[in-house]
Chains A and B, each alone.
Chain A
Amino acid sequence: MTSVTPSVLAERRPLGDRGFQILALAAGLVVLVILVLIAVSTTQQASSWFATEGTSVFSSSWNPAAHQYGALAFIYGTAITAVIAIVLAVPVSVGVALLLTQVVPYRWARPLVYVIDLLAVVPSVVWGLWGILVFAPWIQGVYSSVGSGLQGVPVLGSLFGPPTSGASFFTAGIILAFMITPIVTSLSREVTATVPAIDREGAYALGATRLEMIRGVVLPHSQGGIVGAVLLGLGRAMGETIAAALVIGSSATITSHLFAPGYNMPAVIANEFGEATGLFRSALMGLGVLLFIFTIIINVLARTIVARSARRGRGA
């Protein structure tokens, strides 16, 4: 919001006034300073890994005992779990967002939003605790019956067949999905709520059903915003640490079997960094740098898309 330039008549601005402005500017600059410092300091700590391994930082062999530190298994695990989380979370989130903005009257929508906010406040570590002690043992049974049923079936068998384990890529993906639904929902809700009433009523006046109105008016209007919301959810799912560290199974393997134990970047850092020294620590720090780069790219992309669609939504 632009504010009016004050006191053109004043001869000089008092010192305190100028001081306050400088203080505020400095506080704003802290954000940029922190982001630069994160990039510089972690890269510096990881430099010996990048220097020693060269391009084989992206190799698939991870064996700290033999001083092999290839990160591919973790990058693969991060991608797989994040994609599972997105595939499960997005339809539900968009459905709830449409329910809250297009179906339920505003008076009833508010309490429902409070419930979703509660979901957002449950800490990551509590999801992890529940995931490993309650959810994983239960879903283990589901996995093994699905797995034995699909064993030998061409494509499905190599995705869902044995080996199966309660702590696995898929369990991590499900828990991550629970954790990112609130954010994807609230962002989708923001964009679907800004659809001009006149467009919606126009569609109804032409005899459209609610579904036809949503497909013809709401979705075209909020496409960009929803894509941005999905990308932000993806970024969250990639960086979410503690829950994944507890339920992913901690096994640095690259496999197409989604029910098999795996590993991802944040989880391996959380689990191994405490005991790591030397090149091992540097390698884990390097995984942090890669994670930082991936999430920054995704977030910049998502925010740009959201900002652009918000500008279009206002009709500018």
Chain B
Amino acid sequence: MALVTAEPPKVNLREPPSWRRAKNRMVTTLMVLSFVLMIIPLGLVLATVIAKGASVISWPFLTSQIPPSVLPANAGGIGPAVLGTIEITALAALLAVPLGILGAIYLNEYGGNRPLARLIGFMADVMTGVPSIVMGLFIFSIWVLHFGFSGLAGAFALGCLMLPIVIRSTDEMLKLVPNSLREGSYALGATKARVTVTVVLPAAFGGIVSGVLLAIARAAGETAPLLFTILTVTAANPNVFSGANTSLPSQIFVNASSPYVGAQARGWGAALTLIAIAFLLMIAARIVTARFARYAP
């Protein structure tokens, strides 16, 4: 018996090329091109900062005193600025994070759809758009004019910037916690405060921490709010509560406007340090989200 292997007739199911297809392809190419356009500056900045910063950076560079601008690149370092950034950002986080999480708890657990809660939520969104320089002017007028420059004043300004970001990111995370968890705990007779603290917050823990880390990363890179609150000195000031201080971003700002090659080189080194801190915080946020977030968006 002979097998009949009849070949099916070949039909070309592809649509004939047309102007519509061509336009579609052109626009898709444009979209890919816009992505490329977007990452080119990122690549250029990172490449320059790494190329120019890596040759300067070393352990002594990160810890020794800030020399006068005229000295060459291999003299001194940015120790006081590293210390200042860590002190001031940590203090700002200490002020803004508890307040922000509590504010988000009000918005999500207590406020519900009340007009006041809606107003606060809306204004928190608006507050994220307040320029950072205005925060600096604000703290200058209510604090620095009366109590002088200090790391604390800088922390207030950074805290004002972080607060709405923490509120919004925490709020998003609390929204993701299923209501059945809350209802289950109420059924066991728990009070609302206890439900919030022992059930809702732990359930949203991963997401909250990740949002907080991103807010800290944003704040650590801010210069404008610090200009008129810590005053950018060169001497190290371990006392964050009084006396003028310095920080990595303010030091970069000073060095960027300096005509001296040595100062510019130290600026690149400080920029690499700052970017490394910000990226580490961001990666930490990703890891926390991946490991601990039970209810990811």
A positions within 8 Å CB-CB of B:
1-4, 6-7, 10, 13-14, 16-17, 19-21, 23-32, 34-35, 37-38, 41-42, 44-45, 91-93, 95-96, 98-99, 103, 112, 114-119, 121-130, 132-134, 178, 181, 185, 209-212, 214, 232, 235-236, 238-242, 245-246, 266, 269-270, 273-274, 285, 288, 291-292, 295-296, 298-300, 302-303, 307
Contacts and interface: CB of A to CB of B under 8 A. Distances in A.
Nearest to B264: A133
Q: Which 8 residue pairs are nearest across A and B when measured between Cβ atoms? A: A239-B131, A123-B221, A95-B34, A27-B102, A299-B129, A20-B193, A24-B106, A28-B106
A235 B129 contact: yes
Nearest to A130: B45
Interface residues of B, number: 103
Given A1-B108, A273-B227, A291-B134, A125 B28 contact: no
Contact of A123 (B102, B117, B223): B223
Contacts of B103: 24, 27-28, 30-31
Nearest to A273: B228
Contacts of B38: 92-93, 96, 116, 119, 181, 185
Contacts of A295: 129-131, 134
Given A115-B39, A242-B249, A6 B34 contact: no
> A2, A31, A44, A303 — which one has the most chain B CB atoms within 10 A of its CB?
A31
B107 interface: yes
Contacts of B223: 123-125, 241-242
A242 B253 contact: yes
A31 B48 contact: no
- Secondary structure dominating the interface of B: helix
Contacts of A20: 192-193, 196-197
8 contacts: A20-B196, A21-B110, A28-B102, A31-B123, A119-B41, A295-B131, A299-B130, A307-B122
Contacts of B282: 117-118, 121
A185 B278 CA distance: 20
B183 A127 contact: no
> A1, A210, A211 — which one has the most chain B CB atoms within 10 A of its CB?
A1
Given A14-B191, A121-B217, A121-B278, A209 B23 contact: yes
A20 B196 CA distance: 10
Contacts of A239: 129-134
Contacts of B220: 123
B254 to A, nearest CB: 10
A241 B137 CA distance: 13
A255 to B, nearest CB: 23
A265 to B, nearest CB: 9
A271 B237 CA distance: 24
Nearest to A307: B122
Given A1-B175, A121-B282, A129-B268, A238 B42 contact: no
B37 interface: yes
Interface stretch (B5-13, B56-64, B71-79, B159-167): B159-167
A80 B189 CA distance: 61
B137 to A, nearest CB: 4
A42 B30 contact: no
Given A30-B99, A38-B138, A295-B130, A7 B24 contact: no
A282 to B, nearest CB: 11
Nearest to A119: B42
Interface string B136-162: 011001100100000000000000100
A269 B138 CA distance: 13
Given A118-B282, A121-B282, A128 B35 contact: no
Nearest to B286: A114
Given A31-B120, A291-B133, A296-B130, A124 B222 contact: yes
Given A125-B223, A235-B129, A246 B253 contact: yes
Contacts of B126: 35, 296, 299-300, 303
Contacts of B112: 1-3
Contacts of A285: 137, 141
Given A28-B117, A118-B279, A125-B223, A6 B192 contact: yes
Given A112-B35, A126-B45, A126-B49, A266 B113 contact: no
Given A16-B191, A295-B130, 4 more contacts: A24-B106, A28-B167, A91-B34, A292-B131
B294 interface: no
Contacts of A1: 108, 112, 174-175, 179
Nearest to A138: B44
B186 A7 contact: yes
Contact of B113 (A2, A134, A232): A2
Contacts of A35: 123, 126-127, 130
A69 to B, nearest CB: 16
A49 to B, nearest CB: 13
Interface in B84-103: 98-100, 102-103
Contacts of B287: none
A314 to B, nearest CB: 14
> A25, A27, A99, A238 — which one has the most chain B CB atoms within 10 A of its CB?
A27
A269 B137 contact: yes
Given A103-B28, A115-B42, A96 B191 contact: no
Given A130-B48, A298-B129, A123 B275 contact: yes
Given A28-B120, A209-B24, A241 B133 contact: yes
> A24, A98, A298 — which one has the most chain B CB atoms within 10 A of its CB?
A24
